Amino acid sequence: MPDSKVTTLDKARWKKRHKDKQEKVDALAERFANALPDKATPVKDYLAKKRKKKKR
């Protein structure tokens, strides 16, 4: 029997905790992505237009 198929209880416990923590982190990252806007704010758009006009 190869050693790779044998797992200890500590290793299994670590994997389970790591998986749970990773799921929590993924859920939190998704919440932040949903809460934050993807596009520039109107103020940034206004300032960008103003800069473009000034450069002409």
Please give the pLDDT value at position 16: 95
Instruction: Report how far apart, in Å, the C-alpha atoms of 33 and of each of 26, 30, 42, 44, 50 are.
Output: 10, 5, 19, 20, 29
Once rounded to an integer, what is the mean pLDDT over residues 18-29?
96
Confidence of residue 2 (pLDDT cuts 50, 70, 90): low
Confidence of residue 55 (pLDDT cuts 50, 70, 90): confident
Q: Apex CA 28: angle with CA 27 and CA 34, to 5°?
A: 90
By three-state DSSP, how is residue 25 classified? Answer: helix
How high does pLDDT run on average in the chain? 86
* HSE-CB for 50 with a 13 A CA cutoff: 6
